[in-house]
Amino acid sequence: MKFRFLFPLVAIAFSPALKAQEAAAPAQPAEAAPAPAPPAELTPELLDKVSYFYGTRIAGEFVQNQLPVNLEAFTAGLKDTLDKKEPKFQEKDIEEFMTQFSQIMMAKQEAAAKEAGGKNTAEGEKFLTENGKREGVKTTASGLQYEVVKEGDGAVPKAEDTVSVHYHGTLINGTVFDSSIGNDPATFPVGGVIPGWTEALQLMKVGSKYKLFIPSALAYGDKAVSPEIGPNTTLIFEVELLKIDDKNAAPAPAPAN
Contacts of 2 (CB under 8 A, 6+ apart): 91, 94, 95
Q: 146, 167, 210, 213: which one is catalytic? A: 167
The radius of gyration of the chain's CA atoms, rounded to the nearest angstrom, is: 27
Q: 58, 94, 172, 194: which one is catalytic? A: 194
Distance CA 25, CA 31 (A): 16
Please say if 74 is a catalytic residue.
no
Please say if 177 is a catalytic residue.
yes
Distance CA 121, CA 219 (A): 12
Q: 178, 188, 222, 245: which one is catalytic? A: 178
Q: 127, 146, 210, 220: which one is catalytic? A: 220
Please say if 101 is a catalytic residue.
no
202 C-beta neighbours (distance < 10 Å), count: 14
Query: What are the φ and ψ backbone dihedral angles of 151, each rounded to 5 degrees?
Result: -95, 125
Q: Exposed/middle/buried for 144, CB within 10 Å: 0-12, 13-18, 19+?
A: buried
CB 21 within 8 A of CB 110: no
CB 205 within 8 A of CB 156: yes
The 10 Å CB-count burial string (b at 16+, else e) for 225-257 is eeeebbbbbbbbbbbbbbbbeeeeeeeeeeeee
Q: 54, 177, 188, 222: which one is catalytic? A: 177
Please say if 53 is a catalytic residue.
no
Annotated active-site positions, please?
167, 177-178, 194, 220, 237
